[in-house]
Chains A and B, each alone.
Chain A
């Protein structure tokens, strides 16, 4: 009677198996796995971890540009943080960020979703679908600096195309001063929506394409109307996809500098500044390295909290559907 084979216990393996265990291992030396993991870790350390730690270190010191190069800077505790959090400029910029998020990012996701579903549900020919897809995605392929310059031209109050068009249509009777205080941030949002709506659009469209057609046929047999199908079946099934699109646009908002810089430079009178832009301004333009570092750390903390909340939500949704 043969001995029963116990997995993991070579003494119970039959004779014919002897040679098999001595197969040449895929990994030749024990240094290979160390190198394969170590190299990316080293790169990560060098370009992410080290600068972050460096930044945190200087956020606690009174570093300016000369101090940075001469090593002449002193520990000042959380004074930089106090300066930042206490400044009206930063508080205003947070309100601007909120405005940008709730109109810019949200609008992009809503518009992108609506466009994607319309394209899928209404346009039936594959040729037209492709043509429209390309047209919608085109703005996303332009670098933001170009988009900024483009929209500065389009929105020029006296002879810009947008004002001219609104006048010709009779929607306004006088030029809108697109770059005045109170409006300039809206101009940035408009340009950004134009620039980035295509991203949620693409994500949602590809999500819709991959939904199982049989479910829709079942709905047709059940007798659900088209609007009901979109509301009760399509949108719930695209929930995670839309959430991902939103997270992407949301996280981008925290590093959003380019359009602000090109279109308004935060002005007039700091009325269109976002936190990141101030960090950039204080650090790169005005050489207040310590304070800029504090800005960056605060922005990092805020975004980390929000993204964590989002991921938690995603996890819950996925678990409810048995996906995770």
Chain B
């Protein structure tokens, strides 16, 4: 067993896709890499698997430098977004393929394939071919093929993105409970932030330019996003981001957005003042999560705003409304049982302590 270390990895074709990226995934850690499409997540996995060779940087599995080692000798296993099952082989023989490539005895292969198939609940399908099973079953087969290889590093590329919601949920819970996955270093790529928050011991957000925007626990990323990019990609509905100007009013600090006057919590004032000394401008981008902006009666001690409901969506477990507050459209959440009509006036309350401040030029969180 071993950890995975990626050091200063660079890779590009027509343009740089991955730029000076370093990550360490500890043994037994489940790291989820999340980011929008085309950002280089899959490329990173392919580099670690050895399907591409990096332009620069090193990859270590345990203490062994595998940067120039062919894929099958790296002791990594990878599932592919398209499952990549062999269409002419049965489920059993698909799962067996890494063991067969190593020349294990047939009885041993049989035993391990059956064990893995039972674990993934596909043991009744072993004699079927990929064309005869469903998407979820194909994914389990692909997963079985990686599990049976008993690698030191697991690489999972969007394993459940193409399945329907119910099966996705079922497989997601399976990722939580699979001992084999939890024992070794696992890198799991997805574009679905909810999957990331749910599964990851740590989450790495990949941002533009092939760099890591932030890495940390779900809570850290959610509560202290390093950049506006991270804040916008984690959380549903998307965070309210507004261009604002910081203004001193009678010794208190306010963020002005158009005609809106938003008081800044005193806890943030000193930190912002220190940052302000280094900055020439007082322009900031403020971020307020919809979770922290609710009808006033749901958040009694918050600061208040008056607005008119533009759109209301009842989503079952929560209600989402878009409210026009002095010409600014803000997304707010409500308790699920409530209903608002478009055009209705509403008093919203928000928590000044939950306000984020970002640099408008590069998106960095000013308070980190």
Q: A-side interface residues toward B, CB under 8 Å?
A: 212, 214-215, 217-224, 228, 233, 236-237, 239, 320-323
Is A219 a contact partner of B97 (Cβ separation < 8 A)?
A: yes
Is A236 a contact partner of B51 (Cβ separation < 8 A)?
A: no
Which label, helix, strand, loop or mixed, suits the secondary structure of the A interface?
A: helix
Q: Is B159 an interface residue (CB 8 A)?
A: no
- Which has the most chain A C-beta neighbours within 10 Å: B51, B77, B88, B149? B88
Question: Of B27-35, B127-135, B168-176, B227-235, which binds chain A?
Answer: B127-135
Is B131 a contact partner of A221 (Cβ separation < 8 A)?
A: no
Is B80 a contact partner of A217 (Cβ separation < 8 A)?
A: yes
Residues of A within 8 A of B82 (CB): 212, 214
Q: How far is the CB of B280 from chain A (nearest CB, A)?
A: 51
Q: How far is the CB of B360 from chain A (nearest CB, A)?
A: 42
Q: How far is the CB of A96 from chain B (nearest CB, A)?
A: 36
Residues of B within 8 A of A228 (CB): 101
Residues of A within 8 A of B102 (CB): 223
Is B80 a contact partner of A322 (Cβ separation < 8 A)?
A: no
Residues of B within 8 A of A215 (CB): 84-87
Is A323 a contact partner of B97 (Cβ separation < 8 A)?
A: no
Closest residue of chain B to A220 (Cβ to Cβ) is: B71
Given contact pairs A218-B145, A223-B71, A321 touches B88 in the complex (Cβ within 8 A): yes
Assembled-state Cα–Cα distance A206/B251 (Å): 76
Residues of B within 8 A of A321 (CB): 87-88, 129, 131
0 or 1 for each of B58-87: is its CB under 8 Å from A? (1 = yes): 000000000000111100111011111111
Could you count the A-B residue pairs with CB atoms below 8 Å apart for me: how many are there? 74
Assembled-state Cα–Cα distance A263/B102 (Å): 54
Residues of B within 8 A of A219 (CB): 97, 101
- Select B97's contact among A222, A237, A320, beta carbons within 8 Å: A222
0 or 1 for each of B180-200: is its CB under 8 Å from A? (1 = yes): 000000000000000000000
Q: Is B98 an interface residue (CB 8 A)?
A: yes
Q: Is B49 an interface residue (CB 8 A)?
A: yes
Assembled-state Cα–Cα distance A237/B89 (Å): 9
Within 8 A of A (CB), among B79-112: 80-89, 97-98, 101-102
Closest residue of chain B to A324 (Cβ to Cβ) is: B131
- Select A221's contact among B71, B87, B88, beta carbons within 8 Å: B71
Is B129 a contact partner of A224 (Cβ separation < 8 A)?
A: no
- Select A322's contact among B70, B86, B132, beta carbons within 8 Å: B132
Closest residue of chain B to A223 (Cβ to Cβ) is: B72
Q: Which 6 residue pairs are nearest across A and B when measured between Cβ atoms?
A: A322-B131, A223-B72, A214-B84, A218-B84, A236-B88, A222-B98
- Select A224's contact among B50, B51, B77, B97, beta carbons within 8 Å: B97
Assembled-state Cα–Cα distance A47/B102 (Å): 60
Is B129 a contact partner of A322 (Cβ separation < 8 A)?
A: yes
Given contact pairs A222-B72, A223-B73, A322-B130, A217 touches B84 in the complex (Cβ within 8 A): yes
- Given A217-B80, A224-B72, list of 6 further CB < 8 A pairs? A218-B78, A220-B51, A220-B71, A223-B102, A322-B130, A323-B131
Assembled-state Cα–Cα distance A219/B49 (Å): 12
Assembled-state Cα–Cα distance A67/B173 (Å): 85
Is A233 a contact partner of B86 (Cβ separation < 8 A)?
A: yes
- Which has the most chain B C-beta neighbours within 10 Å: A221, A223, A228? A221
Given contact pairs A217-B51, A321-B88, A223 touches B101 in the complex (Cβ within 8 A): yes
Assembled-state Cα–Cα distance A303/B204 (Å): 64
Closest residue of chain B to A318 (Cβ to Cβ) is: B131
Assembled-state Cα–Cα distance A215/B81 (Å): 11
- Select A223's contact among B81, B88, B98, B132, beta carbons within 8 Å: B98
Closest residue of chain A to B128 (Cβ to Cβ) is: A322
Q: How far is the CB of B30 from chain A (nearest CB, A)?
A: 20
Is B87 a contact partner of A214 (Cβ separation < 8 A)?
A: no
